[in-house]
Structure 1
Amino acid sequence: MIFNVCTYVLIFVIEYVLAIKSGAEVLKADAFNNLSGVISTFLLIIGVHIASDQDETRLIGFPVSNQSELSNQKKVRLSRFRFETVFTLTTSILMIGIAVKVIGGGINDLLHAASQRVPNPIGIVGAVISTVLILIMLGINYFWGKKTNSAALLASAKDSLGDAITSFGTAISIYLMWQYDLKWVDSVASIIIGSFILLSGFEIFLESSLNLVDYFSPRKERQFKEQILTDPAIKAVLGVHAHYDGSLVTVEATVIVDYAMTVAQSFDVAQRIKMKLKQKFEISDAKILFIPNNINE
């Protein structure tokens, strides 16, 4: 993660400096696009750091109840993971702000296209350097992501591909402007990149907001229910609710079982259901509430 931040900072500095020197607004827009990568990665690091805190008596410095110690410790651990979502939501708001600035600048330049000048080709160098560095970072993240089975690194590699394509497109745009004297391309390309940042920001904002209010896909919850019903001890499933704690999924289910089932048996059933859900859906935890069926049935 630190490597990603350093790489994106280097790319931003190179592109921004060369954007000023070349007068290429599209390169400046791409620099801000990569700046959003710096912000998102940095905030993710903070979120992961909070999530990895081992002190179960405090939550980011604030004391928590010591009642029901075992369940409370688990609750505190899961609550910490939600800070990843909080920081992701913050990132999306910053991305939207950056996008509005980039799009506004592009529209303003387009309205005053007559006074615009063709960018200096040195801007192409900045975009090419950005593309190469991002591809190197992508390759490293993908390699280590596969080797360590890290979802965060694999997701970072996937996101970097879009940034690499954007930077390459920026290089092509500057070349076309320089070669064919197409001044308007600079403004249009800036608006396109800004729109890309805006769309990504809104998507992240929507997903993070839904996660924070405990929304979960009904289709996925139906799959959880169907899996729980495959256990022979379960007579019916009254309800299934799943939610995110950061990127972790916790499932809560209320099930009907035989009235004669003992506590020990219900514990074994709960553990069996948890194991099956973890194996098939890679959830982090499951809470099963048992209700006995009618004694006369």
Structure 2
Amino acid sequence: MEWKQRPEAGAFLSIVVYLLLAAGKLLVGEAAGSDGLKADGWNNFSDIIASLAVYVGMKIARKPRDCNHPYGHSRAENISSLLAAFLMMSIGIDVIAGGARSLFQEETTAVPDPLAAAAAAVSAALMTGIYAINRRLARQTNSAALAAVAKDNLSDALVSVGAAVGVIGARFEWPWLDPLAALVIGAVICKTAWDVFVDTAHTLTDGFDERKLAVYRDEIAAVGGVRDVADIKARLLGNEVVLEVTIRVDSHLTVAKSHEIADEVERLMKKRHNIQATHVHVEPQSRAERQG
């Protein structure tokens, strides 16, 4: 796999863009007199930390197995996703708190220059593009950590939209528009963070989609020589599925023939679902079980 096709390429792209946006927003925010844009810039600096953590987690996940990690280091990606969810939640809560404070403050502030709204709008458009790139790459590589980064990118695009709305509201003497947008955007960010947390926690506790398991079971049961699928379970190690299945075959088959059937099950799962690790346990089906 080429480097540009790896999930860490998306995290690295986010780091570079966040660096440029943070510096640009702080400079423009200072020149245009916009506290909202400057706050958005500091928000992007916090995103750099989150993206760095995810990037490091992805690099660790690619390390090969060793004596202390016989299944590899793939779940480092899931830990990175959790960290991204916590940071996103903290950003969302901070945005909500800022909006709530603005609703109750009575003092008026200087109207920011329209340049601040333009900068925020450009940032929102750019982050939406980065979100689309990372979401596509996350689907191609089946990376939960990069999917979390993509959702964080979308959250940042929404924050920038809120900053632009705040500047526009100030220009039209609608001071309530900024805190209202902040409350809505903060709620969206918190919801996104919660979804990332729930999905990652489900994976870390060895949860797996029951519908996919049902599909696997039906396909394996249709393999020639398989009399019954006695048990099937799966879990995710990073972005790789590990499948364990127990099949029953005719008790009169030779060991070699039974092994051929197990190999066919492995080939089927690899071909149809790109499952690289399918562990097949073969049991003989007795006459009583066949009659039952």
Tell me whether 1:8 sits opposite 2:18 in the alignment: yes
Please tell me the root mean square deviation across aligned C-alpha atoms, in Å. 3.2
Instruction: Show structure 2 runs of 5+ residues with no match.
Output: 1-8
Instruction: In structure 2, give the amino acid aligned to 1:131.
Output: A
Among candidates 226, 249, 252, match of residue 244 of structure 2: 252
Q: Residue 186 and residue 268 in structure 1: after superposition, are their counterparts in 2 closer, same or farther (change >3 A)?
A: same
The answer for the alignment partner of 2:52 in structure 1 is 42
TM-score, normalised on structure 2?
Answer: 0.80
Instruction: Please tell me whether the aligned partners of residues 266 and 278 of structure 2 are also in contact (alpha carbons under 8 angstroms).
Output: yes
Equivalent in the alignment of 1:89: 82
Contact persistence 2:88–2:189 (CA under 8 A) = yes
207-216 vs 114-123, greater mean Cα deviation? 114-123
Residue 109 of structure 1 corresponds to 102
After TM superposition, the structure 1 = structure 2 runs for residues 187-202 of structure 1, keeping only pairs within 5 Å, are 187-202=179-194
Tell me the CA shift for residue 217 of structure 1. Answer: 1.5
Contact 1:117 1:183 in 2 (8 A): no
SS at match of 2:56: helix
**Superposition map of 1:1-297 within 5 A:** 1=9, 2-16=12-26, 18-19=28-29, 22-25=33-36, 27=37, 30-31=40-41, 34=44, 37-54=47-64, 56-59=66-69, 75-77=70-72, 80-112=73-105, 114-117=106-109, 119-121=111-113, 122-134=115-127, 137=130, 145=137, 150-151=141-142, 155=147, 159=151, 162=154, 166=158, 169-170=161-162, 172-295=164-287, 297=290
Q: For residues 151-193 of structure 1, what are the alpha-carbon distances to aligned partners after superposition, in whole Å with 9 as ceiling and x for unaligned?
A: 5599589648735752663365145314311111111112222
Q: Could you say what secondary structure the match of 1:250 adopts?
A: strand
* Gap runs ≥5 in structure 1: 60-74
Going from structure 1 to structure 2, the CA distance change for 1:238 and 1:184 (only over 3 Å counts) comes to: same
Partner secondary structure for residue 203 of structure 1: helix
Cα distance per residue 1:117-163 (max 9 Å; x no partner): 364133213313313543564677689x59xx545599589648735
Between 1:260-269 and 1:221-230, the stretch displaced more is 260-269
Contact 1:29 1:194 in 2 (8 A): no
- Call closer, same or farther: CA 1:236–1:224 in 2, change over 3 Å: same
Alignment size in residue pairs: 275
| Cα distance, 1:293 vs structure 2 | 0.8
The letter of the residue matching 1:130 is S
Q: Flag the 1:115–1:103 CA change in 2: closer, same or farther, 3 A.
A: same
Using the size of structure 1 for normalisation, the TM-score is: 0.78
Alpha-carbon distance, 1:216 to partner: 0.8
